[in-house]
Amino acid sequence: MTNKHPKKIFWFIPLFILLVFLIGGLFAEFYFRFEETCTPDKEKNKVAVVIAKGGIYDAEIMNSQVLEYYKSVKKDLNIENAGLKKFEGKTIEELDAFVDNLYLNDDVGYIIFVGDDLPVIREETTEFIFWNKDTGVTTYQISDPTGREEIVEYPQGSKQPDVGKYAWLAFDYTKRLECTKENCIQPSCNDVAVSVILPPLLYSNDEKLNFVLNILATYTNYHENFSTIIKKYQKSQLYIYDPIFPIEEIEGDIDSLKGYGLPIIQVLNTEPEKVTAELKEKHLILSFHVHGSPTAVGMGLHYVGPQPTIGQPYYTSLEEYSRFAKENGVPALFFTDPTACYSGGLRDPQSKEKYCCWIQIFMESGVWATYGLGGRSDQVFRMKRDFSNEKTIGLALRKRMIQQDFIYGDILAHME
Amino acid at 350: Q
Report in angstroms the alpha-carbon separations of 237 from 146, 332, 373.
42, 9, 17
- Which domains can be identified in the chain, with CATH numbers? 37-120+170-231 (3.40.50.10390), 122-166 (no CATH), 232-371 (3.40.50)
Report whether 343 contacts 372 (CB < 8 A). yes
Amino acid 305: pLDDT: 83
DSSP per residue, 158-205: SPPPPPEEEEEE-HHHHHHHH--STTPPSS---SSEEEEE---TTS-H
Report whether 396 contacts 390 (CB < 8 A). yes
Amino acid 148: pLDDT: 81
Amino acid 27: pLDDT: 40
Report in angstroms the alpha-carbon separations of 136 from 132, 139, 140, 149, 150.
5, 10, 13, 23, 20
| Residues contacting residue 209 through CB under 8 Å, at least 6 positions apart | 56, 57, 59, 61, 62
Amino acid 314: pLDDT: 96
Amino acid 226: pLDDT: 98
Distance, in Å, from the CA atom of 73 to the CA atom of 75, rounded to the nearest integer, reads 5
DSSP 3-state of 152: strand
Distance, in Å, from the CA atom of 102 to the CA atom of 119, rounded to the nearest integer, reads 17
| φ/ψ (deg, to 5) at 223 | -70, -40
The Cβ of residue 83 has, within 10 Å, a number of other Cβ atoms equal to 15
pLDDT tens across the length of the chain (416 residues): 444 444 444 444 444 445 544 554 444 443 344 457 889 999 999 999 999 999 999 999 999 999 999 999 999 999 999 999 999 999 989 999 999 999 999 999 999 999 999 998 877 788 889 898 888 899 999 888 777 888 999 998 888 887 877 776 777 777 788 888 766 666 778 899 999 999 999 999 999 999 999 999 999 999 999 999 999 999 999 999 999 999 999 999 999 999 999 999 999 999 999 999 999 999 999 999 999 888 889 999 999 888 888 899 999 999 999 999 999 999 999 999 765 556 567 777 777 788 988 999 999 999 999 998 877 788 889 999 999 999 999 999 999 988 778 899 999 999 99
- Cα dihedral 77/83/89/90 (nearest 10): 40
